[in-house]
Amino acid sequence: MKNKKIIVIISIVVAIVIIGSIIFYNIGVSAVSSKSEEVIVEIKNGSGSSQILDKLDDAGLVNNKLCGKLFLKFNSYDHLQANTYILNKNMSLSEIFHIINDPDIKYILKSRLTIKDGNTIPQVAESFAKILNVSKDDVIKQWAQKDYLEKLVKEYWFIDKSILNKELMYPLEGYLYPETYYITDKEPSLESMTKVALDMMDKKLKPYKEDIEKLGMTLHEFLSFVSVVERESLFDKDKPIIAGVFMNRLNKGMALQSDITVNYALQRTGVKVSTKQTQTDSPYNTYKYPGLPVGPISTVTEKTMKACLEYTHHDYYYFFAKKDGTVIYNETYQGHDKAVRENKWY
């Protein structure tokens, strides 16, 4: 009877160990996250399964390396192929090795499109042109075609007929979300690449739709507002304060008097703006015309959108950025003028 009890206990312990080992193994070879997060992994020629496992582990795609080694002992992969892959943290080890062993073109990186924060359409067009092997001017020209723009108005909730305004320099300015995009098409088109950037803007804007409506702006006006704050602020901490300055001026009917909008109207970079330049006759010039510029003046980021929606409530109407980026805020023009005279560096 005693021996039977011992056998039963041993059997239970063995069963627990086996079940526990199975659970441990299954977790170890499962996806590292339930959320989607793309990871680029380059597999070089001659890489064996063990080397690939090391590479995946370095990329944060392996839950448990010991389990990964066991996985490779239990499974055989004879056609592992060298490529630069777009993998995801929500993929299991089995899915990843299947992709590398029998690649689907949608997981192979062909090119990388980078749209930078605060860039203008001519700068963005250069990035597209390099991948498409066309001129920057060709890209800009296609982005301005009326039938294409009308199609976008129908396709996207956040794009309206404002982009058809003939006073706009570049209709899609501010609408292409700044991000690094991984292109898998062997021969991508301008339209397909543009769609990727617009889809991302759709994704970024959607959570703030009601907040934007409460702000009392159209989507086009909001992107215009955000783009000014994007270009005027160097540090994230200043974004909601600077947004508050411009909101105070808008609410009081004052001209925004943003130097950045003058430079955009003149299609130039830099900080310095002359008195003569502030009289440039352009609907983008917020010295000459009150309210927001006729359209966005650069790409905009989600953090700046959020800063504009959660702008700081204060009594400042003026600000000046010192050479090191530090911003001096003032409630009066007299205080602002003094700050400029004492700290002007350009």
Identify the CATH class of 2-107.
Answer: alpha beta
Domain residues of the chain, as ranges? 2-107, 111-205, 207-343
How high is the pLDDT of residue 1? 59
Task: Say yes or no to pLDDT of 25 above 90.
Answer: no
Average pLDDT over all residues of the chain: 94
Give the model confidence (pLDDT) of 311-346 as tens digits.
999 999 999 999 898 999 999 999 999 999 999 888
Contact 177, 201 (CB under 8 A): yes
Lowest-pLDDT range, 3-12, 42-51, 124-133, 293-302?
3-12
Q: What is the mean pLDDT of residues 195-206?
A: 97
Give the model confidence (pLDDT) of 65-80 as tens digits.
999 999 999 998 989 9
Q: What is the mean pLDDT of residues 1-30?
A: 80
Percent of the chain with pLDDT over 70: 99
d(CA 84, CA 248): 50
Task: Say yes or no to pLDDT of 15 above 80.
Answer: no
Instruction: Count CB-CB contacts under 10 A for residue 267.
Output: 11
Structure tokens at 267: 């299609």
- Burial profile 155-191: b = 16 or more Cβ within 10 angstroms, e = fewer: ebebbeebbeeeebbbbbbbbbbbbebbbeeeebebe
Q: Compute the CA torsion angle 271, 341, 290, 303 (nearest 10 deg).
A: 50
Contact 292, 256 (CB under 8 A): yes
Beta bridge partners, 86, equal 40
User: Which H/E stretch holds residue 180?
Assistant: strand 180-183
pLDDT band with cut points at 50, 70 and 90 for residue 52: very high
pTM for this model (two decimals): 0.82
pLDDT band with cut points at 50, 70 and 90 for residue 2: low
Q: What is the mean pLDDT of residues 35-52?
A: 92
Greatest CA span in the chain, whole angstroms?
105
How high is the pLDDT of residue 11? 74
In this structure, the strands spanning 38-43 and 83-88 are antiparallel
**AA letter at 174:** G
